[in-house]
Amino acid sequence: MVKKQRKVIFLDRDGVINKDPESINKYSYVTRWSEFKFLPGAKRAIKKLTDAGYVIYIISNQAGIAKGYFTLKALAGITRNMLREIKSAGGRIAGVFYCPHRNEDNCSCRKPKVGLFEKALKKGDIDFRDSFFIGDKIIDVQAGRAIGCRTVLVLCGKESAGNKKNWKLKPDHVGRDLADAVDWILRKRGKR
């Protein structure tokens, strides 16, 4: 019997948990652990979600693999270190799912498509209507909406509030960063 997961949060990685890698190297990808820099308050925000009973999944496009900038083995090492740091700060991540493809590969897992969410569904019965997806790009909002999640766009990564008039979809909430998004979700849940 598959366990029903009522309180689920999906997080994008780059620009939400860690500093957007655009300024780190010529590739604009985190290619090694030394380039991974947690954003201020991110680990504490994940701990708050964990303490509140949320099941947390990370879903992230990582086309740098298909482009040959880094390997699956390097990504696995980065992920292992990230999860260790999150765990030592009191947070818990239930699963991490990556799309290693480029746009032109036309795969089903590259956001804004929903394949990564479907992979998470194999770990538990998820009510997407009662779940949230926090990301830093409009494609994250598109992906979250496509699967039926409520969406939060954070402005500490790729997107800026100044571009709001060009957003094809509006998120349910716009937050400064992950900590702000988590506080909004916990307040919203507390009012139910």
Three-state DSSP class for residue 125: strand
Tokens of 66: 């298909």
Active site residue ranges: 12, 14
Decide: 55 and 192 in contact? Cβ < 8 Å. no
DSSP lists the bridge partners of residue 59 as 97
Fold of the domain built from segment(s) 4-190? Rossmann fold (3.40.50)
Question: One digit per residue, pLDDT tens: the chain, 192 residues?
Answer: 455 667 899 999 999 999 988 767 677 899 999 999 999 999 999 999 999 999 999 999 999 999 999 999 999 999 999 999 999 999 999 999 999 999 999 999 999 999 999 999 888 889 999 999 999 999 999 999 999 999 999 998 888 888 888 888 899 999 999 999 999 999 987 654
Instruction: Cis check for the bond before 112: say yes or no (omega within 30 of 0).
Output: yes
Query: What pLDDT sits at residue 192?
Result: 44
Query: What pLDDT sits at residue 188?
Result: 83
Query: What pLDDT sits at residue 96?
Result: 98
DSSP lists the bridge partners of residue 14 as 18
The most distant pair of C-alpha atoms in the chain lies apart, rounded to whole Å, by: 47
Query: What pLDDT sits at residue 3?
Result: 59
Could you give the count of Cα atoms lying within 13 Å of 149 in the half-sphere of its Cβ? 28
C-alpha 3/C-alpha 157 separation (Å) is: 34
